[in-house]
Amino acid sequence: MSEAVASAGAIHHEESFLRKYLFSKDHKTIGKQYLITGIAMAILGGTLAILFRINLAHPGFLTNEQYYAFVTYHGAIMFFWVAMPILLGGFGNILIPLMIGARDVAFPTLNMFSYWVFFVSSVILIISFFVPGGAFSGGWTVYPPLSADPERYLGANLGTVLFLLALALEFASMLMGGVNFITTALTMRAKGLTLMRLPIFVWMEVVASLLFLFSVTPLIAGAVMLLLDIILGTHFFRVEAGKVGDPVLWQHLFWFFGHPEVYVILFPALGILFEVITTYSRRPVFSYKLVVYAAIVAGILSFLVWAHHQFVAGINPLSATAFSVTTILISIPFSMTLVVMGLTFAGGSIRFTPAMLFAIFAFLMFIIGGLSGLPLGAVGSDIYFHDTYFVVTHFHYTVFTIAVLSTIAGICHWFPKMFGRKINETFGKIHAWLTFIFYNGFAFPGFFLGLAGHPRRYYSALEFGYLQKYQWVHELMTVSAVLLLTTQVVFLFVFFYSIFAGAEEKSPNPWKSTTLEWLAPSPPPHLNWGSFAPVVERGPYEYARNGKDIDYLPQGKLVKLKQPASSGHEH
């Protein structure tokens, strides 16, 4: 029915349809655009993964050129075109203004522009896959000289240039979004909403945006140098007799960005988990301050650990020791955060809703992901584990948890707020369990491959005698991966079906949650609060306060405005 309404609107009010659904300045619509685009790219990235995963079980399914191109695009897509747009562009846009009681973000036009830049970057990325000469296949880390001299090494000149261009646009888009988030969260908070009353999700988005802002600059400089190497034949990273560039320089520039980048997507995911876990366990965060300070400390430390990606890459061995110390050090704020998360369940009255199941599984996976970082951060064992499947498995346990488990927890949690409808709960629970089982079936055996010394990015394990006996592990992983993707595709059908035809959610606050976004109607209208304005009276997680009937206190209340709201906060 609503489809018919939408299409009728498209016929009779062409322009208003464009304004409302395409070139909207409404933070919620932009957020949904990011979300949907991110999901579309996730289908692409997931399909690529399945294809090369099948090849690992049955070498010869793809050519080796295809295999390396798919691996490269899978990594880049999942990081930059799925995790970032969904967690920052999607959840950040939809939730930050609602959670702080604002009517929109600080710069709505910039916000719209950021989405369309992102959209163009996605299109360019997809085009780069099909250009003559082939897709770029030098790994998502784009290490030169392999990437700097494509004519000599890969024959993918145009593909590489377009790949870098798409990356640059994506960064520009996320920078615009980040500036928006920081400004919005710092200047447009509702009355009474002090910094230490901000929901943890908002804190996490702000810290993530700051990290991105500070870390991306060197990489942009590096990318320009790399483009010059490719197009003009300079020698920043290329090495030829007499003209000696330094490929290791790129690794420094890349990982100086690359490590904070991991936290750029990790922090919003942790924020989502805290919102979900507090709501469904009916308990406040065990230590709000510790989580906030740990995020800030880890954020600062994340600028001092980058070279742990290069322990055996030719950097000064003594400095590798120093980076090993900072890397092990950074595990401390995160282990504290996870302990706080675990204790947030304690004493609660836990409801195992789909969102909560995903949050619990994400929490468990973060424990595995975090712990498995230690053998890699310790430089002595990294000699052996560097560039093996142990690394691959470690970062899948973190990044998959971020980009899929935490994201779906967030989607299930805020779905009624975003669309005013419900997703079937029984389906959600089955989906959560299947995802958990298939994911571990796919990922966990990777630790054993790592221990066996299986280097990553191998088209086939059959070339090496010491790896041949582990071929069955690859087969097991592939079967699980196919099942995992199938489960997610079914979920996406249910997701889109529920947007248009799910049962209507009448209550604005179905989960009895405390934060401000639950005061707004579902879905919130343009400018969110109508003729009301939220006023904040207390902290964000006032659960378990008087025990019995009303076990929570909303963070604030809506106050009727004397005069109707103006057209928002255009600056």
Partner 1 sequence: MLPEDISQYGYLVDRVIKLSIWGIVIVGIISFFIVFYILYKFRRTKNPFPLSDVPSGLKKVVVIDYVMIIFDLILLFVSTWAWFFFFVRPVEKIKKEVQEKGEKFVEVRVIGRQFFWAVEYPGKDGVFGTYDDFKLGNLLVVPEGYNVFVKLTSGDVLHSFFIPNVRIKYDVIPGRETHLWFKPVKVGKYEIACAELCGAMHYRMKGYLVVLKEQDYLKWLDSAPFSEISFVYLEGDKINFVRGGEMR
Q: Which of residues 433-472 bind partner 1 (CB under 8 A)?
A: 448, 451-453, 455-460, 463-466
Contact window for partner 1 (CB under 8 A) among 107-115, 125-133, 170-178, 342-350:
342-350
The verdict on 347 binding partner 1 (CB under 8 A) reads yes
Is residue 501 within 8 A of residue 419, CB to CB? The reply is no
The verdict on 537 binding partner 1 (CB under 8 A) reads no
Is residue 312 within 8 A of residue 382, CB to CB? The reply is yes
Main-chain phi, psi angles of 142, to 5 degrees:
55, 40
- C-alpha count within 13 angstroms, C-beta hemisphere, residue 546: 4
**Least distance from partner 1 to the Cβ atom of residue 163, Å:** 15
The verdict on 220 binding partner 1 (CB under 8 A) reads no
Binding-site member from 34, 91, 257, 385 for partner 1 (CB under 8 A): 385
**Least distance from partner 1 to the Cβ atom of residue 221, Å:** 21
The two beta strands, 556-560 and 239-240, are unpaired
The binding track of 4-43 with respect to partner 1, each residue x by CB under 8 A or -, is ----------------------------------------
Pick the closer one to partner 1 by CB: 260 or 373: 373
Pick the closer one to partner 1 by CB: 159 or 178: 159
The verdict on 369 binding partner 1 (CB under 8 A) reads no
Main-chain phi, psi angles of 386, to 5 degrees:
-55, 130
The verdict on 384 binding partner 1 (CB under 8 A) reads yes
Q: How far apart are CA 174 and CA 256, in angstroms?
A: 17
**Least distance from partner 1 to the Cβ atom of residue 79, Å:** 17
Rama region for 233: left / alpha / beta (φ>0; ψ in -120 to 50; rest):
left
Q: How far apart are CA 332 and CA 324, in angstroms?
A: 13
Binding-site member from 527, 544, 553, 558 for partner 1 (CB under 8 A): 544
Q: How far apart are CA 204 and CA 264, in angstroms?
A: 9
Pick the closer one to partner 1 by CB: 68 or 436: 68
The verdict on 246 binding partner 1 (CB under 8 A) reads yes
Considering only residues 49 to 88 of the shown chain, the ones binding partner 1 according to CB under 8 A are 64-65, 68
Amino acid at 543: Y
Instruction: Output the DSSP codes for 58-73.
Output: STTSS-HHHHHHHHHH
Q: How far apart are CA 30 and CA 40, in angstroms?
A: 15
Contact window for partner 1 (CB under 8 A) among 150-158, 197-205, 405-413, 419-427:
150-158
Considering only residues 250 to 289 of the shown chain, the ones binding partner 1 according to CB under 8 A are 281-283, 286
The verdict on 350 binding partner 1 (CB under 8 A) reads yes
Pick the closer one to partner 1 by CB: 546 or 563: 546
Could you count the other beta carbons within 10 Å of the beta carbon of residue 570?
11
Q: How far apart are CA 412 and CA 493, in angstroms?
A: 14
The verdict on 500 binding partner 1 (CB under 8 A) reads no
The verdict on 304 binding partner 1 (CB under 8 A) reads no
Could you count the other beta carbons within 10 Å of the beta carbon of residue 287?
16
The verdict on 542 binding partner 1 (CB under 8 A) reads no
**Least distance from partner 1 to the Cβ atom of residue 430, Å:** 19
Q: How far apart are CA 459 and CA 24, in angstroms?
A: 44
**Least distance from partner 1 to the Cβ atom of residue 422, Å:** 19
Amino acid at 201: F
Our CA dihedral for 44, 49, 50, 54, rounded to 10 degrees, sits at 140
Q: How far apart are CA 108 and CA 98, in angstroms?
A: 14
Amino acid at 507: S
**Token digits of residue 202:** 């908002």
Pick the closer one to partner 1 by CB: 429 or 569: 429
Kindly give, in sequence order, each residue whose CB lies less than 8 Å from that of residue 371, ignoring residues fewer than 6 positions away. Answer: none
Pick the closer one to partner 1 by CB: 85 or 284: 284
Is residue 75 within 8 A of residue 140, CB to CB? The reply is yes
**Least distance from partner 1 to the Cβ atom of residue 80, Å:** 19
Binding-site member from 386, 396, 417, 421 for partner 1 (CB under 8 A): 386
Applying CB under 8 A, the site for partner 1 has a residue count of 87
Pick the closer one to partner 1 by CB: 453 or 523: 453
Binding-site member from 220, 364, 490, 527 for partner 1 (CB under 8 A): 364
Pick the closer one to partner 1 by CB: 40 or 329: 329
**Least distance from partner 1 to the Cβ atom of residue 76, Å:** 14
Could you count the other beta carbons within 10 Å of the beta carbon of residue 350?
15
Contact window for partner 1 (CB under 8 A) among 165-173, 191-199, 400-408, 544-552:
544-552
Binding-site member from 75, 89, 138, 178 for partner 1 (CB under 8 A): 138
Considering only residues 118 to 137 of the shown chain, the ones binding partner 1 according to CB under 8 A are 137
Pick the closer one to partner 1 by CB: 111 or 324: 324
Main-chain phi, psi angles of 313, to 5 degrees:
-100, 15
3-state SS, 70-134, equals HHHHHHHHHHHHHHHHHHHHHHHHHHHHHHHCCCCCCCHHHHHHHHHHHHHHHHHHHHHCCCCCC
Pick the closer one to partner 1 by CB: 263 or 334: 334
